[in-house]
Structure 1
Amino acid sequence: MSPESGVGRLGLIAGNGRFPFLLLDAARAHGLDVVVAAIKEETDVEMDERAALDAGVRVHWMSLGELSKLIETFRAEGVTRAVMAGQVKHKQIFSSIRPDWRLAKLLLNLRTRNTDMLLGAVAKVLGDEGIELISSTAYLEPLLATVGVMGARMPTEDERKDIEYGMTVARGIAGFDLGQTVVVAAQACVAVEAMEGTDATIARAGELFRTLGDGDATLSRALTVVKVAKPNQDMRFDVPVVGVPTIAAMKDAGATCLCVEAGRTLLFDRAAMVAAADAAGIALVGRE
């Protein structure tokens, strides 16, 4: 089903960061009214300001564990299609929520409590209630990474070798839903993403490598960051995202090259991110 098909009212389950706002803008540009389910623990309060300025946006605040309220809100608003946009911190999902009866029942029936399993189960519950969860890249295809060098600098031969090695390692860990990012130096893995997120992984790699190099700047400038989608990535949720903060984290850590999976990674916002990478001398590459 194309994003334009169906009714003209879209449900937006909003996490943190700029992703929900970019998707909101894109949906409004397509003429859709948007009903935002704003997560109290995650969504920026700016969402209320956006609604105050646009009659086509309605915001309902709810806690992360209120699955029944989410369903009731969307049904009352006539929403039959919804999209998830914005990160919900993994530690929030598994440690901070107070589930309502519907979510508690769902959690009890999960075979494993990884992110894919949980969000997939939520998507099924929504579908059973007549609310189709569509791709989180709907309306945002121009922001997907493309194949090849996306900035001014080509990767060096050493960085290319690290990319090849990093892609193999990243795809391996992504297959176990451990994380989607690895940081590599001299074809050795320096850091692997877990629940802390991409930017924190990059910072940890930079600190570790500075320690190993005893402050040697030449060593701290040899890190390559590789980020991939999961082997069977469900584009409805947890799609890889990078942006200007990623470049800032790399600059602070002394990383010189970023490789992302083309067609399955979103760049926010692309022009500013490429400009920041060029200014920092960071090679930005998309790979299939």
Structure 2
Amino acid sequence: MPPEVKHGPKLGLIAGNGRFPFLLLDAARAEGCEVVVAAIKEETDLEINDRAASDPGLIVHWLSLGELSRLIETFQRAGVTRAVMAGQVKHKQIFSSIRPDWRLAKLLLNLRTRNTDVLLGAVAKVLGDEGIELISSTAFLEPLLAKEGVLTSRAPDEEERRNMEYGLSVATGLAGFDIGQTVVVAAQACVAVEAMEGTDAAIERAGALMQTLEAKASTLERRLTVVKLPKPKQDMRFDVPVVGLRTLETMARAGASCLAIEAERTLLFDRDALLRRADEARIAIVAVPRRY
């Protein structure tokens, strides 16, 4: 049975893809918050409709990614003064055939660059100017943030630790450019860097490249180490690093044996199942201390 709905300001949820919106929704409803969901037609799982049908404290509105004015009007009509972004919106969608409304078109024209921080920061400012505060995407989900240390039964071996250290130095250097959060390393050489395609696609690309090199009798060791870090000044309202089962399965297929993330600023979804699967696949997961 859904929790009782508390009266007062509603929570707006801008829902992208994946499980993140559902986890945040569950946590907010467990605290008795009424939630108004802006579901993105190009991204949000249709399961959200089933949830709304059985939960009177959940209202869902479907919007296109380009409809910034409609998003604002939807929240204002519902009395939403606090909102949260949860779930990925693929960066490449910015360059897709989706047509922005006048407000989003104006915003895009005035951007000096179109990286994630600048774009979402501009959207957050527009929302704020309209009386809608965008709060941290980890709101209600603090228990899911990774704690420092080795999280799996197997710790990294010496080769993986060398790869981790090299990968951390590369990822730290790249993080400030807001290109991507992930680098993939083998034998202290950078095999792949995440860009617009996302973490899983970068890991898949690294795995495919290593298979090609292996076929050519390359001296590079087959095992890959994945390093995923937040940006130096990570805005916790959006684009927080997330690791879930899908990323772990992608690593297993690609031949990756180690994952390094940053403690306290990385969300682990389905933690128990994630760590069980990591142990089964002999993948070591380490949460390193905050670097900034």
Q: TM-score, normalised by structure 2?
A: 0.94
Change in 2 beyond 3 A, CA 1:255/1:219: farther
Percent of pairs identical after alignment? 73
User: Structure 1: how far apart are the matches of 2:54 and 2:152?
Assistant: 36
Aligned residues of 1:40 and 1:64 also touching (Cα < 8 A): yes
* Paired position in structure 1 for 2:116: 115
Aligned residues of 1:7 and 1:80 also touching (Cα < 8 A): no
Q: Which string of whole-angstrom CA distances, capped at 9 and with x for unpartnered residues, describes residues 178-206 of structure 1?
A: 11100001111000001111111111101
Change in 2 beyond 3 A, CA 1:168/1:7: farther
* Paired position in structure 2 for 1:195: 196
Aligned CA RMSD, in angstroms, stands at 1.6
Q: Please tell me the residue identity of whatever aligns with 2:207.
A: G
Aligned residues of 1:220 and 1:254 also touching (Cα < 8 A): no
Q: Please tell me the residue identity of whatever aligns with 1:176.
A: F
* Paired position in structure 2 for 1:36: 37
User: Structure 2: how far apart are the matches of 1:152 and 1:218?
Assistant: 29
Aligned residues of 2:138 and 2:236 also touching (Cα < 8 A): yes
After TM superposition, give the deviation of residue 75 of structure 1 in Å: 0.4
* Paired position in structure 1 for 2:81: 80
User: Structure 1: how far apart are the matches of 2:126 and 2:28?
Assistant: 24
After TM superposition, give the deviation of residue 102 of structure 1 in Å: 0.8
Structure 2: runs of 5 or more not aligned: 1-6
User: Structure 1: how far apart are the matches of 2:139 and 2:217?
Assistant: 45
User: Structure 2: how far apart are the matches of 1:187 and 1:278?
Assistant: 24
After TM superposition, give the deviation of residue 222 of structure 1 in Å: 1.5
Aligned residues of 1:13 and 1:82 also touching (Cα < 8 A): yes
Q: TM-score, normalised by structure 1?
A: 0.95
Q: How many residues are treated as equivalent by the alignment?
A: 283
Q: Please tell me the residue identity of whatever aligns with 1:156.
A: D
Change in 2 beyond 3 A, CA 1:221/1:281: farther
1:12 aligns with 2:34: no
- Equivalent residue of 1:256, what SS? strand
- Equivalent residue of 1:80, what SS? strand
* Paired position in structure 1 for 2:178: 177
- Equivalent residue of 1:107, what SS? helix
- Equivalent residue of 1:153, what SS? coil
Aligned residues of 1:39 and 1:64 also touching (Cα < 8 A): yes
Aligned residues of 1:220 and 1:253 also touching (Cα < 8 A): no
Structure 1: runs of 5 or more not aligned: 1-5
Q: Please tell me the residue identity of whatever aligns with 1:283.
A: A
